[in-house]
Structure 1
Amino acid sequence: MKRLFLIATLVGAAPALADEGMWTYNNFPSAKVKEKYGFDPSQEWLDKVRLSSARMAGGCSASFVSPNGLVMTNHHCARGCIEQLSGSKKDYIANGFYAKSAAEETQCPAMELNQLVQLTDVTATLNKATQGLTGKAYSDALKAKMSELEQTCSAGDAKVRCDVVTLYQGGQYNLYKYRRFQDVRLVMAPEHAIAFFGGDPDNFEFPRYDLDVTFLRVYEDGKPATTDHYFKWSEKSVKEGDLTFISGHPGRTSRKLTIAELEYQRDVAMPKQLFMMSELRGMVTEFQKRGPEQKRISNNLLFGIENGLKAVKGRLEALQDKTFFAQKVAAEQELRKKVESNPEMKKKYGAAWDEIAKAEAQFVHVRKDLAYMEGGSGLSSSLFSIAKTLVRASEELPKENGLRLREYNQAGLPALQASLFSQAPIYPELEILRLSFGLTKMREELGSNHPFVKKVLGKESPDKLAARLVKGSKLCVLKDVKGSKVCDVSVRKSLFDGGKAAIAASKDPMIQLALLVDGDARAIRKNVEENIDAVIKKNSELVAQAKFDTYGTNQYPDATFTLRLSYGSVKGYMEDGKPVAPITQMSGTFAHATGEDPFALPPSWLKSEKHIDGATAMNMVTTNDIIGGNSGSPVINKDAEIVGLVFDGNIQSLGGEYGFDESSNRAVSVHSDAIIESLKKVYGATRVLEELRPGSTKVPAAKANPAG
């Protein structure tokens, strides 16, 4: 991996320079954009862009691209749906999918899209509710007030989702209100071979030649949803130097964490994560060799593991860079000196950093228990997760809303139920493999004499216990529907509706295991939330306030998988002393192909090579500040028109979790011209083309779609 050279984003520094920042829509620096690029985004413009953007609840971004609910995102963001709709006789991951008519658009078993319709600052309300409180009292009051605000906001409407979002590590709180779409259908997806052309070797690299795009459609009441706000397609190709905006949902950055928190990530969390993921990758790779069906059902899992491995390696390398980390330390020390020099600030904020450091040190001693008893590291099973949700729902739902665990609050119930009753297939052979691996790691990490390990395993080996639990459970009974496997979820529904009595009477081994371990899991969670998390949250609020008092409020918060807007331009960079051009061409796709995976193009592309204009732009890089979660984000111009689709960052951008360097950090996108050219000349996807560019299909398109 190439060494990362980063310029640190100073902790709490003055307003960001260059094209830095994942800005919230209620604090976007329009004046800075005007100063640098000559364009002043108005409130009307910002509202249009916000309402044309979408979030995939599973962890990606998307956008509305027609008034009839057509949605554009990445292929890798929709892989779960594409895989779930596939079967041994129709593999849409390998062969692609295209609905030639509305009737062929097929509902994704487990997908939800959100549109941000309103955001409100509720900082004062939450600060008042927690004023003077610490520990358990602080934690309880914060959760209760959050749940109250969310419930009032959603008002029991299943089509509305409301979340209280923590910004600036608790310096601010915003209430985000979303329009929810739970009927999402697959419209068009290319083959995996072109969507992830170059595979893991090219991942996080540039030049790239990927068509990482998928089109979905949101429905309401059985009909395509009317979307008044959507992005039109630009008729003008974006070129080097042009201004670009990216509206999406960056998952997480850690630019404003304290040094103690960063040290925990660098020295404890990430090394452990890399070891675990490396072992899991080896296990899944071997599983794929069992046969073509085993490979098909585990491809999505392997893709996620390999993508995560490369991302974590990049983040760890950034924190291990001594110069970079020294800049982080210096920035924190500068802020602390300013606080110490002001008696009033010292009294209010002076102890905050040390309190966070103590809490992090305490967490080191309980992190394994939390991961294996409450987290999913040991009981790494979709079936167990369902069982745990059912058991806890029976306990939590009868309580007052403010007293429930956060994930069971009233406002979040529609999303919880949608996930719980999803018919997405769960394949027993793969489920046994994953659970056996998790149980083995649990025994290895906690030790064979740990009371929890003894309680879970008893006299059984991880392999035997995993097989017995999975084979005996009725929480997913696979059945064939039109050539695809789906879960019969009737048992789940009866257990959910039956509440405590039904759960207590259940003989399902997964339910019995969830009941067995729930007390231990709740206890470790309670300890961490009240004695560690509450300390970190409370003191992080103080650190944030110290930054505001010192540097002002014109700064962006860390990413929180909420809608953000970044600005930049199409621009290349230098790598190893050589210039990297910002745009690749479609002809390069064929030149890059070798005929062997992962550089083998699908037959549809090989057949269409002579029809494609090789000079058409394929992929591009821009200086927009992004991070994981931005995948599927639209790239737009100043007229709020689509000019590209984000699908990756370059290798230098992986350190963007902790800082931004405009000289080399780049967002990698599919150029809008490549999407149109391939829809027209490779796939003959006239229905999609007509929605994106009305009237464009009057020009004779290519042959019928070879992939569909």
Structure 2
Amino acid sequence: MRQLAVVAALLGALPALADEGMWTYNNFPAAAVKAQYGFEPTAQWLDKVRLSSARIAGGCSASFVSANGLVMTNHHCTRGCIEQLSTADKDYIANGFYAKAPTDELKCPAMEINQLAEITDVTDRLNTATQGRTGKEYSDTLKAEMAKIEKECATSDQVRCDVVTLYQGGKYNLYKYRRFQDVRLVFAPEHAIAFFGGDPDNFEFPRYDLDVSFVRVYQDGKPAPQDNFFKWSKAGAKEGELTFVSGHPGRTSRGLTIAELEYQRDVVLPKTLMLMSEQRGLITEFQKRGPEQKRISNNLLFGVENAVKAQKGRHEALLDKAFFAQKVAAEQELRQKVNASPELKKKYGAAWDEIAKAQEQLKHIRKELNFMEKGQGFSSQLYNIAMTLVRAADELPKENGVRLREFTDAALPGLKAQLLSPAPIYPELEIARLEFSLTKLREELGADHPFVKKVLGKESPLTLATRVVNGSQLRDVAFRQQLFDGGKKAISGSKDPMIELARLVDPDARAIRKNHEDNIDSVIRKNSELVAKAKFEVYGTNVYPDATFSLRLSYGSVKGYVEDGKKVTPITVMSGTFDRHTGEAPFALPKSWLDAKSKLKASTPMNFASTNDIIGGNSGSPAINKDAEIVGLIFDGNIQSLGGEYGFNESVNRAVSVHSEAIIESLKTVYGATRVIDELRPGKPVPVKAPPAG
């Protein structure tokens, strides 16, 4: 196990040091950057970078790189789209894709891209609404006020508004986005080079990947013009150069209490790792059924393998005794300062103990919550569609403020886009996944559990999975639309077996969710808010919040590190890609690269490591220089970065990017993608004519 030498100041309790921090745009430490690197980002610079950044609603980051709506992100962030557009005859995952003409750009069946237009602090409004309230009343009031704020903000389907919880409830910001739901694939390389080295190289460095893809956002059937976009740097990142990463880190847990971290270490992570490992085995065996089965499950296997390695790294971080002791020391220091002041003790002193009690309660309902409500017992796209339809029929007639959060007016455009997506669904894979999850449901809850008896009856998991998948019409988008439009009457009268299964599950799933939200989550939310406010009073506001899949900006530099006594240089070159080629997956380069070997410039920088503070969700983030020019594309971190879930160690934690020069050299020499290059080159905008819709 690698030691994580992280001091208390880097554990979420004290102001950040060195290059640490995933900073919000309305609290960016520009003066600290100037003090360390001699460059101070202005308000205008920050606005441009914010508006040039983008978010893929499914969980990745991206950036606008031309005035014509061209968006750059990782290949692994568009894998879902690429796989959905593929067929047995046209496998774009294996063979890559390039739209040589505007009319060749293909619409992704289920992709949404967001651009953050405005940030508004709504803390006072929410604090006023919830003042003096606790438990269920606090939770209900908070959700209702959030829904009200979001509805006031979302004036059309082209606008998305999210109230973002920061500092565990210490602050609330309203993020208003431009929403693009017409997204079309422009370029993607072959999987073999986009994920060169596969799982063995994942979260490792040195790396030699071309993990890049390009899509385009459309509005009213035309490419959506952009006033703000990143231009391309002339030479890309150099060692020692200041770099910024603007992206959407998904989640960190640096501000959690010790009780919460113990629950993660002792319960959540071990159970999650075991379940995911079994899922990986299931999908690996499924792929052996034949080439088509392998094709349709590749993206699923990629996701599971990536998650297993990430969760393992996080677990190892919390098992590191020295690291965990520092987390304990940081919390004890804060609590001692709070308890030393009668005023602070009265306001905040009990918060940590209340969170600890809630964690104990959570242990008692964990299995039922995960397997009945959070999807671990019903792993199926068709089931998810069915449950969405069943709940939509119940929720949408209600007042906006009392609905489940995913059915509020502000959330509806995104929900409907996913629900009515024409993305293909494969029955054989659905049956395999649902059978597995139903088997785990019975295993975890026990064969005598009333819910298990209710769901399975006399059927085996395989029999039930086969019956409801093969008998369902929910693969038909028109049928889904009919049920959605028909509301409660259509759903209650439906004989579709997957709808019937969702109707059967819903009452019990709702009950366990309500118990969790009213009696556990509400306590954690309220007392986490108090802990955050205690930190503000003791240490001030010069701290950054945990990641929440909202736009953040980090700063750092291109820098190597020492591992096992050996210096790791920060930049790899293209010739090393061919040195690593063995001819066998996952170290087998595609034919296009082997054919282009003699033409490629061997010294072209390929990937680089930097001290930018990132986490999952940052995939696809642009790496830019002080002139707001693209110098790279984030696609991974090194193995030490996995401990970044809980703390940051500048000496070894590294973000990993595709170098901007590798992207240009590959587009030009390997793929002949001149149409893309002409859009990326500064000062050479190329008009993009609108292709016909569809």
Q: Provide the TM-score with structure 1 as the length reference.
A: 0.96
Structure 1 residue 184: Cα displacement: 0.3
The residue aligned with 2:691 is none
Letter of the structure 2 residue corresponding to residue 117 of structure 1:
A
Q: 1:695 to 1:560 in 2, by over 3 A?
A: closer
- How many residue pairs get aligned? The number is 686
Q: Is 1:453 the counterpart of 2:488 in the alignment?
A: no
Q: How does 1:308-707 map to 2 (within 5 A)?
A: 308-476=307-475, 488-693=476-681
Asked if structure 2 preserves the Cα contact closer than 8 Å seen for 1:10 and 1:328, the reply is no
Structure 1 residue 573: Cα displacement: 0.3
Asked if structure 1 preserves the Cα contact closer than 8 Å seen for 2:34 and 2:40, the reply is yes
Q: Is 1:198 the counterpart of 2:197 in the alignment?
A: yes
- CA-to-aligned-CA distance 1:303-338 (integer Å, 9 cap, x gap): 000000000000000000000000000000000001
Q: 1:8 to 1:680 in 2, by over 3 A?
A: farther
- CA-to-aligned-CA distance 1:609-635 (integer Å, 9 cap, x gap): 000000010000000000000000000
Asked if structure 2 preserves the Cα contact closer than 8 Å seen for 1:8 and 1:658, the reply is no
- CA-to-aligned-CA distance 1:143-165 (integer Å, 9 cap, x gap): 0000000000002x000000000
Structure 1 residue 237: Cα displacement: 2.9
> 1:7 and 1:274 mapped to 2: Cα distance?
28
- CA-to-aligned-CA distance 1:653-689 (integer Å, 9 cap, x gap): 0000000000000000000000000000000001000
Q: Provide the TM-score with structure 2 as the length reference.
A: 0.98
> 2:586 and 2:8 mapped to 1: Cα distance?
35
Letter of the structure 2 residue corresponding to residue 169 of structure 1:
Q
The residue aligned with 2:149 is 149
> 1:408 and 1:17 mapped to 2: Cα distance?
40
> 1:256 and 1:695 mapped to 2: Cα distance?
44
> 1:264 and 1:189 mapped to 2: Cα distance?
40
> 2:595 and 2:402 mapped to 1: Cα distance?
61
Q: How does 1:33-44 map to 2 (within 5 A)?
A: 33-44=33-44
The residue aligned with 2:689 is none
Structure 1 residue 9: Cα displacement: 4.9
The residue aligned with 1:76 is 76
How big is the alpha-carbon RMSD for the aligned residues of Structure 1 and Structure 2? 1.1
> 1:8 and 1:350 mapped to 2: Cα distance?
20
Q: How does 1:221-300 map to 2 (within 5 A)?
A: 221-300=220-299
Q: How does 1:93-104 map to 2 (within 5 A)?
A: 93-104=93-104
Asked if structure 2 preserves the Cα contact closer than 8 Å seen for 1:384 and 1:510, the reply is yes
> 1:516 and 1:206 mapped to 2: Cα distance?
49
> 1:349 and 1:377 mapped to 2: Cα distance?
36
Q: Is 1:14 the counterpart of 2:2 in the alignment?
A: no
Asked if structure 2 preserves the Cα contact closer than 8 Å seen for 1:11 and 1:332, the reply is no
Q: 1:327 to 1:122 in 2, by over 3 A?
A: same
> 1:168 and 1:11 mapped to 2: Cα distance?
13
Q: 1:61 to 1:9 in 2, by over 3 A?
A: farther
- CA-to-aligned-CA distance 1:561-609 (integer Å, 9 cap, x gap): 0000000000000000000000000000000111110000000000000
Letter of the structure 2 residue corresponding to residue 598 of structure 1:
P
Gaps of 5+ in 1: 477-487, 699-708
> 2:501 and 2:309 mapped to 1: Cα distance?
34
| Structure 2 SS opposite 1:624 | coil
Structure 1 residue 42: Cα displacement: 0.1
> 1:535 and 1:69 mapped to 2: Cα distance?
44
Letter of the structure 2 residue corresponding to residue 393 of structure 1:
A
Asked if structure 1 preserves the Cα contact closer than 8 Å seen for 2:235 and 2:661, the reply is no
> 1:612 and 1:289 mapped to 2: Cα distance?
36
Asked if structure 2 preserves the Cα contact closer than 8 Å seen for 1:246 and 1:633, the reply is yes
Structure 1 residue 238: Cα displacement: 1.8
> 2:7 and 2:456 mapped to 1: Cα distance?
49
- CA-to-aligned-CA distance 1:218-241 (integer Å, 9 cap, x gap): 000000000110000001332100
> 1:143 and 1:376 mapped to 2: Cα distance?
22
- CA-to-aligned-CA distance 1:168-189 (integer Å, 9 cap, x gap): 0000000000000000000000
- CA-to-aligned-CA distance 1:193-212 (integer Å, 9 cap, x gap): 00000000000000000000
Letter of the structure 2 residue corresponding to residue 162 of structure 1:
C
Asked if structure 2 preserves the Cα contact closer than 8 Å seen for 1:112 and 1:180, the reply is yes
Asked if structure 2 preserves the Cα contact closer than 8 Å seen for 1:619 and 1:668, the reply is yes
The residue aligned with 1:51 is 51
Asked if structure 2 preserves the Cα contact closer than 8 Å seen for 1:22 and 1:559, the reply is yes
| Structure 1 SS opposite 2:555 | strand
Structure 1 residue 342: Cα displacement: 0.2
Structure 1 residue 696: Cα displacement: 7.5
Moved beyond 2 Å, runs of 4+: 1-14, 694-698
Structure 1 residue 505: Cα displacement: 1.0
- CA-to-aligned-CA distance 1:527-563 (integer Å, 9 cap, x gap): 0000000000000000000000000001000000000
Structure 1 residue 13: Cα displacement: 3.2
The residue aligned with 1:482 is none
| Structure 2 SS opposite 1:642 | strand
> 1:611 and 1:489 mapped to 2: Cα distance?
47
| Structure 2 SS opposite 1:629 | coil
The residue aligned with 1:66 is 66
Structure 1 residue 14: Cα displacement: 2.9
Asked if structure 1 preserves the Cα contact closer than 8 Å seen for 2:9 and 2:15, the reply is no
Structure 1 residue 54: Cα displacement: 0.2
Structure 1 residue 4: Cα displacement: 4.8
The residue aligned with 1:484 is none
Asked if structure 2 preserves the Cα contact closer than 8 Å seen for 1:8 and 1:660, the reply is no
Letter of the structure 2 residue corresponding to residue 585 of structure 1:
V
- CA-to-aligned-CA distance 1:328-364 (integer Å, 9 cap, x gap): 0000000000111100000000000000000000000
| Structure 1 SS opposite 2:77 | coil
> 1:4 and 1:489 mapped to 2: Cα distance?
50
> 2:7 and 2:665 mapped to 1: Cα distance?
38
Gaps of 5+ in 2: 687-694
> 1:663 and 1:82 mapped to 2: Cα distance?
37
- CA-to-aligned-CA distance 1:405-449 (integer Å, 9 cap, x gap): 111001111111001000111100000000000000000000001
Structure 1 residue 3: Cα displacement: 5.4
| Structure 2 SS opposite 1:643 | strand
- CA-to-aligned-CA distance 1:246-303 (integer Å, 9 cap, x gap): 0000000000000000000000000000000011111110110110000000000000
The residue aligned with 1:133 is 133
> 2:402 and 2:6 mapped to 1: Cα distance?
44
> 1:19 and 1:260 mapped to 2: Cα distance?
28
> 1:204 and 1:11 mapped to 2: Cα distance?
22
Letter of the structure 2 residue corresponding to residue 340 of structure 1:
N
